[in-house]
Amino acid sequence: MQTGKIGVTSENLFPIIKKFLYSDHDIFLREIVSNAVDATQKLKTLASKDEYKGDVTDLKVRVKLDKKAKTITVSDNGIGMTAEEIEKYINEIAFSGANDFLEKYKDDANAIIGHFGLGFYSSFMISKEVDIITKSYKEGSKPVKWTCQGTPEFTLDEIEKEEVGTDIVMHINEDSEEFLDENKISEILNKYCKFLPVPVVFRKQKEWKDGKEVETDKDNQINDTEPAWTKMPADLKDEDYNNFYRKLYPMADEPLFHIHLNVDYPFNLTGILYFPKIKNNFEVQKNKIQLYSNQVFVTDSVEGIVPEFLTLLHGVLDSPDIPLNVSRSYLQSDSNVKKISNHITKKVADRLSEIFKESRENFEKKWDDLKIFIEYGMLTDDKFYDRAMKFFLFKNTEGKYFTFEEYEQLIKESQTDKDKKVVHLYTTNQEEQYTFVEDARAKGYDVLILDDVLAPHLINRFEQKQTDTSFVRVDADVAENLIKKEDSEKEDLSWEEKQELSPVFQAVVPEKNDHTFIVDFKDLGENASPMVITRSEFMRRMKDMSAAQGGMNMYGDLPDSLNLVVNTAHPLVKKVIEAKDKKLSTQLEKMNADIAAQKAEAEKLEKAKEGKKEEEVPQAEKEQLESVNNELAKLEEEKRSKLADFGKKNKLAKQMVDLALLANNMLKGADLDKFVRRSVELIK
Ligand SMILES: Nc1ncnc2c1ncn2[C@@H]1O[C@H](COP(=O)(O)OP(=O)(O)OP(=O)(O)O)[C@@H](O)[C@H]1O
């Protein structure tokens, strides 16, 4: 028997493993099984070159659990190791630099894990003793058993072993007895080893016999050695891709499209990415891509590894250039990983544009499920934005789809405003904004549906990038003014008339804390509604944005500012105006005369002040001006309140405001009830 010391320059190896203990224990099995797979593949390679004469047709890796002996054994029929190789690969492990490294990263366990695939030694995380029983394929080499108890001392004995290959026997320590559970082992194998390229067997297949589940004598293979992504795209049908998808995500809906990646320069990358149907609450759908390195599972959390929007995709990426056993921060800074991520972004855009060109109909059909993904990409990745401009689709209220360019062609003529901006009209809710949509369409405008969570952000982005474009929601103004074609606006009422009418209607708008109304007057034609409630595009967007950010800035605190546009051409409005004139004309005339007199007086006093310095004006004159101004304010207030009184008593005015509120879904509960009662009364 030989004894010796493992070639670590200090006794630091096991402390590292202890540190590793705080991380993911499960990976020990991945390490040991993938070593066994490597050894098996190496032997196959040797056989193919005729350097090994034995039979390699049915090589398997076996995982055995012995609860009594408290061991987990991983056996292979791979190349095995000679005593010299154990010395070289196991004893003089790649930890010669461990000292320096530990010095540098002593506070960062993740970096340690990231730097060293601990490989074989990770078995000590869960074992109090590990044995290697191995026989090399090399002719004449003696089988040996290496034993180590988690200290730098080991023993190496010559033993008897018939078959070429290696058994790794792990004697599970007391803290790790959870691993002596068949289900636990199955679970780990299923997570990490599901697609390893050599059959891995654990337990026996089970079958139902006489109402009981019994073990057969057939091996239970846990892995698919040739998963779809390792095959050539030409050998796969859509069905195969969908089947593979189901294998990865048994609970998910059918995907929309897939991309088969197959790159061998400047790096190696294979994989299949799927576009899932994306719902509005897309956060939950993120980070489902599984990352593999030579068919060994690395992680299913690609956040920070691929661009944010790509984390919405599903599927598998496999690259030997993706380091195993590494921490997230390490992966993010890895230059290969960055290149891979750029490449994938490009491929995804290429593929979408290909599908778009080849089958526009199919693309349109899936657009509604796909758009969040594309919008997300356009918002977060400039390069993707440029690429996606070719296949991003607008959908209008007729359900027709257009690319950005096509749409611009469509509306350019009728929807360019006086500033040469092409105004895109949109609705965020076709039902709620029904009358506005109809009014805009009646004017010959086209209306888009932009109703998803990302649309407001995308609109901003479009306006930033396509500077000759603007977006206006259909209820931002009366249809007439949505697209301002010329500056001069015909005045329907004089300033004085507006002044007098404004309090009448202001008096009947509901007083609520969360919104304010500004009353305005326009000739909308006698067939249009008597009143329309609009909300300014700018104010609404500011509010929406701040709501999305948690509403903690000034726009979030502002009440909704709404415009009540009174249609002066409408017969009912005319009626109110006439009633006002009839009822109040004598009083108003008197008030107006008084006001005019006070104004004249005030003007005279102001004039007298002109050219004088403040201290030169006699005190008496100052006081007189003040009292005249006060009187003027009082008279104006009286007039306003007179008009407001009239408005409050005018059922018709109230009814028209309510009607406008109703059209805006703003009339609810008791108010709605009252409205109906009053309507019935009026009809009577
Ligand atoms: N089952 C095995 N059969 C034959 N050789 C083995 C076996 N397991 C380990 N080895 C040898 O021991 C070496 C060290 O293994 P270890 O797992 O520590 O590192 P690695 O496999 O080289 O790298 P990684 O860190 O990626 O796992 C291997 O390179 C291989 O030569």
* Predicted pLDDT of residue 10: 44
Lookup: tokens for 343: 């490449």
The pLDDT value recorded for residue 112 is 43
Tokens 């890895």 sit at which residue? 334
Closest residue CA from atom 31 of ligand 1: 89
- Specify the pLDDT at position 440: 94
Q: Which of 31, 33, 38, 44 to mutate to test the pocket of ligand 1 (most atoms within 8 A of CB)?
A: 38
To test the ligand 1 pocket, which listed residue (29, 72, 120) has its Cβ within 8 A of the most ligand atoms? 120
Q: What is the SS3 assignment for 616? A: helix
Please tell me the predicted confidence (pLDDT) of residue 23.
63
pLDDT at 526: 81
Radius of gyration, alpha carbons of the chain: 39
Binding residues for ATP: 31, 35, 76, 81, 96-97, 166, 328
pLDDT at 447: 97
Q: Does residue 81 have its Cβ closer than 6 Å to ligand 1?
A: yes
Any atom of ligand 1 within 6 Å of the Cβ of 22: no
Is the model's pTM score more than 0.80?
no
- Give residue 41 CA to ligand 1 midpoint distance, Å: 13
- For residue 271, the 8-state DSSP code is E
Q: Ligand 1: does its nearest atom lie under 6 Å from the Cβ of 449?
A: no
Distance 548 CA to ligand 1 centre (A): 52
Residues of the chain with CATH 3.30.565.10: 2-205
* Among protein residues, the one whose CA lies closest to atom 10 of ligand 1: 35
Q: Can you list the alpha helix ranges (DSSP code H) found in 151-225?
A: 182-192
Instruction: Quote the CA–CA distance of 596 and 394 in Å, as a whole number.
Output: 57
List, by residue range, all CATH 3.40.50.11260 domains of the chain. 392-482
Atom of ligand 1 nearest to the CA of 80: 4
Q: Does residue 287 have its Cβ closer than 6 Å to ligand 1?
A: no
Task: Give the per-residue pLDDT at 15.
Answer: 64
- Residue with the smallest CA separation from ligand 1 atom 1 is 36
Q: How far apart are the first and last CA of the chain?
A: 114
Q: Exposed, middle or buried, 325 (CB in 10 Å: 0-12/13-18/19+)? A: buried
CATH topology of domain 2-205: Heat Shock Protein 90 (3.30.565)
Question: Does residue 167 line the site of ligand 1, with CB under 6 A?
Answer: no
Residue ranges, CATH 3.30.230.80, the chain: 228-359
- Binding-site residue positions: 31, 35, 76, 81, 96-97, 166, 328
132 lines ligand 1 (CB under 6 A): no
Name the helix (H) or strand (E) containing 355: helix 335-358
Residue 489 is encoded by which pair of tokens?
């606006």
> What does the pLDDT look like over 71-120, one tens digit per residue?
999 999 999 999 999 988 888 764 444 445 455 555 544 444 444 446 78
Ranges of residues in the chain whose predicted pLDDT is under 70: 5-23, 93-118, 279-285, 304, 323-332, 487-492, 513, 548-558
Q: Is the CB of 36 under 6 A from ligand 1?
A: yes
pLDDT attached to residue 114: 41
Q: Report how far ligand 1's centroid is from the alpha carbon of 530 (Å).
A: 83
Alpha carbon distance 519, 561 (integer Å): 11
228-359: CATH topology is Ribosomal Protein S5; domain 2 (3.30.230)
Q: pLDDT by residue (tens digit) across 644-653? A: 999 888 888 8
Whether ipTM tops 0.95, in short, is: yes
pLDDT at residue number 72: 98
For ligand 1, atom 12: residue with the closest CA: 89
Whose alpha carbon is nearest atom 28 of ligand 1?
89
- C-alpha span between 311 and 303 (Å, rounded): 6
CATH architecture under which domain 392-482 falls: 3-Layer(aba) Sandwich (3.40)
